[in-house]
């Protein structure tokens, strides 16, 4: 529920058209998005610049070496995230090469995602930890490894500047808890364990407010085979597409935190049970007796799914808009407009958001 609230809070800031402001800083036309990368930009934003809703990392400019390692970590369990595991499993080795090469080169603008509020002392603490470290906590400066200004030390050490604040908090907590353990020397594990919650928030806020670095020119990343070389070898596999159609077409009305807060999962469950809108006829829905339809997909685990109807990002505002008028967002969908009002859609979305399994 907390994640939904965060998403809703972020969505309140979301402009009507997501792609209107997505232009590379260089001013040049962005490269075409390869086919396998469609999956990525759906959550990570156009060009992997980041998701304005927050909580999802910017992947633009991450080196091929680093991104490849993270995808493999999702496969071998040294990183854990249900959505990313599914995605990593769905990508072939060539797909991984293509998408990591694309994101390593793409020059994406900064995305303004939410940053947690904190007392003003947090600014100084974040900067201190980044540039100097802390004797009390026993941690070195983040920039010692992550480079001047947090710009990264390619190929192995990722940039922190311009990274999503909530993602950094989540990932530092994951290091601390041992959920993420893909650091052979245990540096990040030991550092995260030494950090207090305040320190984690401070560091995340500090880096999130820095401009992200540009991608590394190819000839600086050696001696790995260059992404261009790999791309060239796979040229016939890359599908050039103008823009990510699903994202571009999304015009979900703004969902205010107040509205979302008022959404009641219990009422949503009753709406589904009432069979007034025929949900149970097509869907199997946990917690809703009599809902054992097989025309549409089961809604079990809906809260953890990456996509709605296989292509829309599973965000509160989008889910509410979809429930109100599915064909408006996904023309080819088999789900008709069932006549849900906005208020009803809110409640149903809230209930679906409780379905962890």
Partner 1 sequence: MAQRREEVDVVLIGMGLVGTVLGRELTRAGLRVVGLERGEARDTVPDFQGPAMHDELRYAMRLALMQDASKETITFRHSPRDTALPVRRWGSFLPGSGLGGSMSHWNGQLFRFQDDDFQMYTRTVERYGANFLDPEITIQDWGITAAELEPYFDRWEYLLGVSGKAGNLQGELIPGGNVFEDPRSREYPTPPQKEPYGSAIFRRAALELGYNPYPQPSANLSQPYTNPEGMQLQTCTFCGFCERFGCEHFAKSSPQTILLPVLLADERFELRTGCNVLRINRDSTGRIATGVTYADRSGQEIEQPASLVILGAYAYNNVRMLLLSQIGQPYDPQTATGAVGKNYAYQTMSYPQVFYDESIHINPFMRSGANGTMISDFAGDNFDHGPHGFVGGAYIGEIMTNGRPIGFHPVPPDTPGWGSGWKRAVARHYNHTSVINVHGSSVATRSNYLDLDPTYRDAWGLPLLRMTFDFPENDLRMSAYCTDRAIEIGREMGGQLVTGEPRTGRYDMTEYQTTHNTGGAIMGTDPSTSVVNRYLQSWDVPNLFVIGASAYPQNASYNPTGTLGALAYWAADAIVSQYLPSPGPLVPT
Nearer to partner 1, 4 or 216 (CB): 216
- Which backbone phi and psi does 120 adopt, to 5 degrees? -65, -25
Nearest residue to 10 via CA among 195, 241, 260:
260
In sign, the C-alpha dihedral spanning 245, 248, 249, 253 is positive
CA–CA dist 125, 198 (Å, integer): 9
Please give the structure tokens belonging to residue 15.
């402009």
Q: How far is the CB of 66 from partner 1 (least distance, A)?
A: 16
CA–CA dist 83, 266 (Å, integer): 26
CA atoms within 13 A on the CB side of 349: 28
Task: State which of residues 27, 185, 217, 331 lies at the interface with partner 1 (CB under 8 A).
Answer: 185
Name 274's Cβ contacts closer than 8 Å, sequence gap at least 6.
Answer: none
Selected range binding partner 1 among 37-45, 53-61, 187-195, 201-209, rule: CB under 8 A: 187-195
Q: How far is the CB of 324 from partner 1 (least distance, A)?
A: 53
Task: State which of residues 147, 154, 155, 313 lies at the interface with partner 1 (CB under 8 A).
Answer: 147
Strand ranges inside the chain, DSSP E: 133-134, 139-140, 307-308, 312-313
Residue indicated by tokens 């934003």: 45
Selected range binding partner 1 among 61-69, 88-96, 179-187, 200-208, rule: CB under 8 A: 179-187
Q: How far is the CB of 86 from partner 1 (least distance, A)?
A: 32
| Rounded alpha-carbon distances, angstroms, from residue 323 to 283, 333, 346 | 13, 12, 9
In sequence order, which ranges of 12-134 are alpha helices (DSSP H)?
38-44, 64-76, 82-90, 93-105, 121-131
CA–CA dist 113, 55 (Å, integer): 8
Nearer to partner 1, 186 or 233 (CB): 186
* Other beta carbons within 10 Å of 210: 17
The site for partner 1, by CB under 8 A, has a size of 21
Task: State which of residues 52, 67, 143, 269 lies at the interface with partner 1 (CB under 8 A).
Answer: 143
Nearer to partner 1, 223 or 331 (CB): 223
Nearer to partner 1, 194 or 218 (CB): 194
Residue indicated by tokens 């260059």: 226
Task: Determine the 3-state secondary structure of 24 from DSSP.
Answer: coil
Site map (CB under 8 A) of partner 1, residues 210-239, x = contact: -------------x----------------
Site map (CB under 8 A) of partner 1, residues 103-142, x = contact: ----------------------------xxxxx--xxxx-
196 binding partner 1? (CB under 8 A) = no
Q: How far is the CB of 136 from partner 1 (least distance, A)?
A: 9
Nearer to partner 1, 176 or 269 (CB): 176
Nearer to partner 1, 129 or 312 (CB): 129
- By the criterion CB under 8 A, which residues form the site for partner 1? 131-135, 138-141, 143-145, 147-148, 185-187, 189-190, 194, 223
């Amino acid at each position: 529920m907390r994640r939904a609230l965060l998403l809703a809070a972020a969505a309140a800031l979301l402009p009507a058209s997501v792609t209107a402001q997505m232009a590379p800083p260089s001013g040049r036309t962005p490269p075409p998005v390869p086919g396998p990368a469609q999956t990525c930009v759906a959550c990570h934003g156009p060009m992997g610049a980041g998701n304005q809703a927050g909580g999802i990392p910017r992947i633009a400019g991450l080196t091929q070496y680093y991104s490849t390692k993270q995808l493999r970590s999702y496969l071998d369990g040294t990183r854990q995230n249900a959505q990313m595991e599914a995605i990593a499993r769905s990508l072939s080795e060539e797909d991984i090469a293509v998408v990591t090469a694309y994101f390593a080169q793409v020059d994406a603008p900064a995305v303004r995602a939410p940053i947690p509020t904190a007392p003003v002392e947090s600014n100084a603490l974040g900067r201190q930890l980044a540039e100097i470290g802390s004797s009390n906590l026993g941690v070195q400066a983040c920039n010692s490894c992550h480079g001047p200004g947090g710009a990264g030390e390619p190929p192995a050490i990722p940039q922190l500047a311009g990274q999503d604040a909530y993602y950094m908090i989540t990932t530092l907590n994951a290091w601390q808890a041992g959920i993420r353990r893909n650091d052979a020397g245990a540096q990040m594990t030991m550092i995260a364990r030494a950090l207090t919650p305040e320190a984690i928030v401070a560091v995340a806020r500090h880096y999130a407010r820095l401009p992200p670095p540009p991608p590394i020119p190819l000839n600086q990343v050696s001696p790995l085979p260059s992404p261009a070389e790999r791309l060239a070898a796979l040229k016939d596999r890359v599908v050039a597409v103008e823009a990510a159609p699903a994202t571009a077409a999304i015009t979900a009305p703004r969902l205010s935190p107040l509205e979302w807060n008022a959404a009641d999962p219990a009422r949503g469950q009753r709406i589904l049970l009432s069979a007034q809108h025929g949900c149970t006829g097509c869907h199997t829905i946990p917690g809703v007796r009599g809902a054992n339809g097989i025309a549409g997909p089961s809604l079990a685990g809906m809260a953890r799914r990456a996509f709605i109807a296989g292509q829309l990002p599973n965000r509160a505002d989008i889910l509410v808009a979809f429930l109100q008028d599915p064909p408006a967002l996904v023309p080819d969908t088999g789900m008709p407009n069932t006549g849900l009002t906005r208020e009803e859609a809110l409640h149903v979305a809230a209930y679906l958001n409780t379905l962890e399994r």
